[in-house]
Amino acid sequence: MAHMEQADRPEGPIVPDKTPEEIRSEPYNMPGGFEWSDVDINNKEQRHELYTLLANNYVEDDDALFRFDYSEEFLLWALTPPGYRLDFLLGVRAASSKKLIAFISAVPANIKVRSKDRLDVAEINFLCVHKKLRAKRLAPV
């Protein structure tokens, strides 16, 4: 494969940053029977609930023989780096039972790409939807 010279592509974001005014202030509507929920990783019960969701539904192979199994202590460490924000830990709950059935996280990061100044970004991780609910199309929401 031929190496493409850096000069062939301009440096910079693929999509320009949005101003705060351009960012949607209201969350997207959740399908009926589900609701948005903050997840407080510092709360032992909520941390255990997140651990259980991920242990049973996160990344696995096609034969369900291998699945990531992050400990509660690891989740606390991974989701509370310097500058973390609890409002970046988003869950979805069943409206009736309040059971956590989906989760996505973001943590702050500071990166430098090529010669550009350092950028403050959010690293997205742990997107997980309960296996039995994947047909509900919650991930795109």
Q: What is the pLDDT of residues 127-139, one digit of tens each?
A: 998 888 877 777 7
What are the tokens at 67?
A: 């699945």
Q: Mapped to the 3 state alphabet, what secondary structure does the chain carry?
A: CCCCCHHHCCCCCCCCCCCHHHCCCCCCCCCCCEEEEECCCCCHHHHHHHHHHHHHHCCECCCCCCECCCCHHHHHHHCCCCCCCHHHEEEEEECCCCCEEEEEEEEEEEECCCCCCCEEEEEEEEEEECHHHHHHCCCCC
Q: What is the pLDDT of residues 71-114, one digit of tens each?
A: 999 999 999 999 999 999 999 999 999 999 999 999 999 888 77
More confidently predicted of 72 and 20 = 72
Q: What is the model's pLDDT at position 97? A: 95
Q: What is the model's pLDDT at position 44? A: 97
**Residue 119 identity:** L
What percent of the chain shows pLDDT beyond 90? 46
Residue 27 has pLDDT above 60, yes or no: yes
More confidently predicted of 57 and 64 = 57
- pTM of the complete model: 0.79
Q: What is the model's pLDDT at position 28? A: 80
